[in-house]
Amino acid sequence: MNWNWKERREKKAFLALEDGTVIRGHAIGAPVDALGEVVFNTGMTGYQEILSDPSYSGQLVVMTCPEIGNTGINAADMESNRFQANGFLVHNLNEPSNWRTDQSLQATLIEHGIPGIAGIDTRLLTIKLRDQGTLKGYIAASDPPMLSETEAVAKARAWEGLDGQDYASRVTCDKPFQWDPAGDLTATWGIAQELPVPDLRIVAYDFGIKWNILRCMRRSGMDVTVVPARTPPEEVLSLKPDGVFLSNGPADPAAVTYAIVSAKSLIGKVPLMGICLGHQILGLATGGRTYRLKFGHHGCNHPVKDLTTSKVEITSQNHNFAIAPDSIDASQIEITHINLNDETIEGIRHRHEPMFAVQYHPEAAPGPHDPSYLFERFRELIAGR
């Protein structure tokens, strides 16, 4: 695809922030406007997995890496059936040059109705978010413009934001399904992998689950049935699972009240593993509370220490909330992992029941594979070891 660069840069667009700041650039993606919470991601690659991660629903993602689009988009690297982020903000959007490319990032943004802005100073924007904290924003990329800059700032201020919002029910599946590796287009580098015969039956709550989580569990010998976020615990137990998995997901964990009730009911009845939003839900279900981080953790280079082994792993993360340390009931819950950047809680386990959770993404996609051992730890938990 050959772009007319002059024509593209004439399609002006801007980002209006709730504090009155307006950052101008040129429109990319769909010619529409969008509201969202502006967050920065420090990953140097993996923009396709980031955009298709349901945990980014409600967010306008800023990439700190200045060159985006080089590897294009391919069917094998999607983490859900569509792009999930509300908008995309980059310094420079490039044409793809990679043998795995099916289509360009620009074409895929348009296909999925996601607006974006390129040509902005992403370093300035990232520093602003780092210093001030996460801000609500409005991408004005429609042609012709729908709102003036002043109106767009007012729109950003008036938006309800993500606090107190249940987005898990927006991104969850409509009905239960069994993960079928035969229909999985994501074999590594296009080469089919021989999978072990599954010997464990797992039920996974879909609060915004990523496909690579399902791939990793299947590669670990688990047969996975995915159920919608509001599935009653009685229905889950009726499937006679060997273990239950609580997935990642977007927005405020305290707003997903039905999931907290379900988790409380399941603790002690079946082995449990949670990640990201699932980690926060299990923290709330065991009496903890959550709070908002200043600018969240978004990237694939966060150092985490496993307190049970003293090993440090580099992790992929995407969350705006964390479990408050002073809310942990130490007689019931043990803190197992901490973030070495800010010492926030990154992992917990129950002292008396088969349950553990981590705040980060052991499946990566994108990111390092350091935490992949956690799926084996889940197997060991189920086996009673």
Q: Are residues 75 and 206 in the same domain?
A: no
- The domain of 250 spans 168-383
Of 158, 188, 213, the position where a domain reaches its end is: 158
Q: Please give the pLDDT value at position 189.
A: 45
Q: Please give the pLDDT value at position 188.
A: 47
Q: Are residues 199 and 309 in the same domain?
A: yes
Q: Are residues 88 and 224 in the same domain?
A: no
Of 139, 158, 177, the position where a domain reaches its end is: 158
Q: Are residues 137 and 201 in the same domain?
A: no
Q: Are residues 141 and 179 in the same domain?
A: no
Q: Are residues 147 and 233 in the same domain?
A: no
The token pair that represents 116 in the structure block? 């974006």
Instruction: Please report whether residue 163 resides in a domain.
Output: no
**CATH code for position 62:** 3.50.30.20
Q: Are residues 351 and 202 in the same domain?
A: yes
The total domain count for the chain is 2
Active site residues: 276, 361, 363
Q: Are residues 138 and 254 in the same domain?
A: no
**CATH code for position 327:** 3.40.50.880
pLDDT in tens, the chain (385 residues): 455 555 656 689 999 999 999 999 999 999 999 999 999 999 988 999 999 999 999 999 999 999 999 999 999 999 999 999 999 999 999 999 999 999 999 999 999 999 999 999 999 999 999 999 999 999 999 988 899 999 999 999 999 999 999 999 999 999 999 998 765 544 444 555 688 899 999 999 999 999 999 999 999 999 999 999 999 999 999 999 999 999 999 999 999 999 999 999 999 999 999 999 999 999 999 999 999 999 999 999 999 999 999 999 999 999 999 999 999 999 999 999 999 999 999 999 999 999 999 999 999 888 888 888 999 999 999 998 6
- CA distances for 105 relative to 1, 47, 300, angstroms: 11, 9, 20
Of 108, 137, 158, the position where a domain reaches its end is: 158
